[in-house]
A and B are shown apart, each in its own frame.
Chain A
Amino acid sequence: MPSTAGSRLLENYRPPFDATAVRKLRESGAIVVGKTNLDEFGMGSTTEGSAYQVTANPWDLSRVPGGSSGGSAAAVSARQCMVALGSDTGGSVRQPASFCGVVGLKPTYGRVSRYGLVAYASSLDVIGCFGSSVADSGILLGAISGHDKFDATSSKRDIPDYASQFVAIDYLESKPLKGLRVGVIRETLEDGVDSEVISSVRDAVSHLEQLGCTATEVSLPSFSLGLPAYYILASSESSSNLSRYDGVRYGNQVFGDELNSLYGDSRAQGFGSEVKMRILMGTYALSAGYYDAYYKRAQQVRTIIRNSFKEALDNNDILISPAAPTVAYKIGEKKNDPLAMYAGDIMTVNVNLAGLPALVLPCGFVEGGPAGLPVGFQLIGAAFSEEKLLKIGHIFEQTLPGCSFVPPIVADE
């Protein structure tokens, strides 16, 4: 099966091996239906950055499905497949899950082998799961988790039996989440976040409280630093990871009089504009004289963020935030305003910088489109606490009153 990563440069590329996650799925008896669309090399938040097609949001075909793994989110939302994989470097599974009204799970860094995942930013990339239910996502995670001798950064921790945690609604106690300490991140419910999104998330917190949780507000002062740090680190790593696409082995080679023009012209023709911009940013950040001011400082910020999350999670079982500051917006709306698009990643990038697991669940609707637009909220846990997140999520989705997250184009059929 071809693997393009949404790029012209890999237009006819057929990998000679399966990614470890895919191999594990096949070994578990899964049927691989196809590969889905995404922003080129995972760089984007709308899937408009694909070199091939623009993917529409099943809830409103004039809107983006989110991104970068928007194709996977849309496919699951439209019930074209049971579950799908995506890659989450800065929110590329969770934000489209929120936009498309499906469950999106970003595992702890190292939980799932990255072997075979076309690299964007290696220290942040995680393979994540999409499902139309928490149970499906949990089963999918169980199938793809585990140490891989082909990925030195994959964890050797045991894999819990995620599915065995699930309790059907009929067997739930009246306060099934009693004693659970929930920290609501204050900085994620402030200015710059759509007020309807805020109220949906607050409603979700109230629902959790009804299930027995104690919710308190938690402040993460470093939260807003995550976005610039993320864009420096991710761009830096991607500028390196994408060096291999030099026209020598992949893509259409543009002949040049000398080697550098072969490289330059092949890359100029092969990469899309968003990718070029990030390569330039990353190359700049790693250059002599700028390294300390950008890359090194971003790494220091990353450490601060990791520590502040650790502290917050020492005092709380889970943390809560919206999955994105808005619901799905119109195709083309932010295409020429990359900074506005980047700002949409504020809710998710910190989790990647900290390497933590997070689960995005649909929790309500905002007016828009033919049948409203889904809102997702994010549950963030300590490293390797996927089991806990899934258990909470499973109880939440079964008990959420009056919500069905099936888009009208599917429901109408």
Chain B
Amino acid sequence: MALTLFKGLKSNCFRWYPSVYVARKHGVLYCSMRNAQGQTATTQEKQHTKLKASSKKESGKLEEILKNYEAVIGIETHVQLSTQTKAFCSCPYNYGAQPNTSICPICMGLPGALPVLNSKVIGYAVKLGLALNCKLSLNSKFDRKQYFYPDLPKGYQISQFDIPIATGGYLDVDLPVEFGGGHRKFGITRVDLNRAGVPLLEIVSEPDMRTGIEAAEYAAELQRLVRYLGVSNGNMQEGSLRCDVNISIRPIGQLEFGTKVEIKNLNSFSSVSRAIDFEISRQVLLHSQGQADHIVQETRLWEEGAQKTVTMRKKEGLSDYRYFPEPDLPGVTLTNEYINEIRDSLPELPEMKRRRYEKLGLSMQDVLFLTNDINVAAYFAATIATGADVKLAANWIMGDIAAYMKNEKLSIDDIKLTPKELGELIASIKAGTISGKIGKEILFELMAKGGTVEGIIKEKDLVQIVDPTEIEKIIDRVLVNNPKQLEQYRGGKTKLQGYFAGQVMKETKGKANPGLLNRILLEKLNAKS
């Protein structure tokens, strides 16, 4: 993951406006250490789409056209809450359980059964509302949203319609460095308790996003937030976090919105980004060719295989859900004490963590990497809590540890190296007990097998030789044993210094302190004999 990310950095054609062309050429990455099963790690696969299949020249032309337009993007996200039980009954909810094994008269909607709200759901909604900087409604209520569907036992969903539990917030997002970086603030229109058999919160953003990357990062930040808060596992593949994107385009400078299209079936952040980029191109092409009337209000489906959006259903006017207040449930009343109690118990949120790490002197790239995944963030925090140097800890985690995790397809919680031992390792290198090279060897052993730094150093006798007289003795021995090379060196072939250093390392099994070794070796080599 990390490697791909840095590969992306080397290329030079990123622009502020990441068009389809650009986004397709390079990996769309949401800096995170999650492995292949994780959500945040979404590497762009180079798949060809019709739009993209056009020649380079045409892509260039499209890019030119795209520059004259801007997209307006808003996202409706549904977050499935990780409560033990369903929203209105005491049935357990487990993803992947056998159908119809966790049911009761209430969730089946049998005649006479009544819903009773799981109070945890309110707590979670308040948490998320606060984390999204929303204004909380002290008095909100539930409403029935009515329609017939075979998966809807009662013929209505219990939802919030005109008075959502939280409104008017925002979400801070730091865009990845390789996409130009930058900080964005996206408005949150509302958070409401939505379709609540299995408890769901709906988060509606303002139409503040302009690119696929921004939208994907918004979604990734929301995922981070729900995971940091512990209100949901945020898993997109399980459907615990679902994003429906609303998107329209307009010529730059135009104030009114274009015709809005909704995109569904977005199962990863990269599909959010790619679907939007595809849709922008589709709409812009139509518009630029005088076919703006072909952009109609509809719901389109993202087809992962074909990498394109297709019509799912055209909107034939608005559906009439005949909302009315749910008479089976009392209103939701929040007291200020309750809200304050939850506010005080909020953990450090991703945005706060990023700002704090920035102040520790880490680069934005490091900051994003270390805060994107809550488990990585916790690992890093535990490591620096041992007193380890912040920058060194970051480098180890983002470098060798990340590479190892990627190769072994592990998450940071799976590796056997504890933050405590990583701190120990960094300290041992800093103190000169072991060399950096040996530190690296130990690291891999610790990650694979566990154990302690001290134990491995002792067991393998890896303590660095820092005694100058001992190093001097070994150097003398090497010089005596290689008279020919010594002669050549003194005859001007100074490159041979490396050879001698290698010999000394071989003698010491790599334990000689490299600094000392080089200093003493040079002295000896250059001394007049």
Contacts and interface: CB of A to CB of B under 8 A. Distances in A.
B150 interface: yes
Interface in A121-168: 121-123, 149-153
Contact of A16 (B105, B144, B154, B329): B105
Contact of B155 (A15, A244, A287): A244
A259 B155 CA distance: 14
Given A240-B144, A263-B148, A153 B330 contact: yes
A156 B92 CA distance: 26
A119 B326 CA distance: 13
B114 A244 contact: no
A295 B162 CA distance: 15
Contacts of A237: 324, 327
Nearest to A113: B114
A111 interface: no
Contacts of A287: 320, 322
A377 to B, nearest CB: 30
A76 interface: no
Interface residues of A, number: 41
B146 interface: yes
Contacts of B324: 236-237, 240, 286, 291, 295
A150 B322 contact: no
A150 B327 contact: no
Nearest to A10: B111
Contacts of A122: 327-328
Interface in B129-182: 144, 146, 148, 150, 153-156
A20 to B, nearest CB: 9
B202 to A, nearest CB: 20
B112 A244 contact: no
Interface in A1-43: 3, 5, 10, 13, 15-17, 19
A19 B112 contact: yes
A83 B459 CA distance: 87
A411 interface: no
Nearest to A260: B148
A246 B148 CA distance: 8
A243 B155 contact: yes
Contacts of B111: 3, 5, 10, 13, 15, 118-119, 244, 250
A295 B110 CA distance: 26
Interface string A93-122: 000000000000000000000111111011
Q: Is the interface of B mostly helix, strand, loop or mixed?
A: loop
A15 B112 contact: yes
B155 A152 contact: no
* Residue of B109, B117, B148, B318 most packed against chain A (CB within 10 A): B148
Interface in B83-102: none
Contacts of B116: 149-152
A152 B115 contact: yes
Interface string B317-339: 01010111001111000000000
Interface residues of B, number: 28
B113 interface: yes
A248 interface: yes
A295 B154 CA distance: 21
A155 to B, nearest CB: 11
Contact of A243 (B114, B115, B154): B154
A288 interface: yes
A118 B146 CA distance: 19
A92 interface: no
A149 to B, nearest CB: 7
A285 to B, nearest CB: 9
A287 B147 CA distance: 12
A397 B451 CA distance: 88
Contacts of A259: 148, 150
Contacts of B105: 15-17
B114 A283 contact: no
A263 B148 CA distance: 8
A115 B114 contact: yes
A324 B111 CA distance: 30
Nearest to B117: A152
Contacts of B155: 240, 243-244, 246
B146 A243 contact: yes
Nearest to A284: B322
Nearest to B106: A150
Contacts of A151: 114, 116
Contacts of B320: 287-288
A109 B110 CA distance: 22
A116 B110 CA distance: 9
Given A243-B155, A286-B322, A16 B114 contact: no
B117 to A, nearest CB: 7
* Residue of B106, B110, B111, B322 most packed against chain A (CB within 10 A): B111
18 contacts: A16-B105, A114-B114, A116-B112, A116-B113, A119-B111, A119-B112, A150-B113, A151-B114, A152-B114, A152-B116, A152-B329, A153-B329, A244-B109, A248-B150, A250-B111, A259-B148, A286-B146, A288-B318
Interface of B: 105-106, 109-117, 144, 146, 148, 150, 153-156, 318, 320, 322-324, 327-330
Given A15-B105, A151-B114, 5 more contacts: A115-B113, A122-B328, A246-B155, A260-B148, A291-B324
The 6 A-B residue pairs whose C-beta atoms are closest, nearest first, are A243-B155, A123-B327, A122-B327, A286-B322, A116-B112, A118-B111
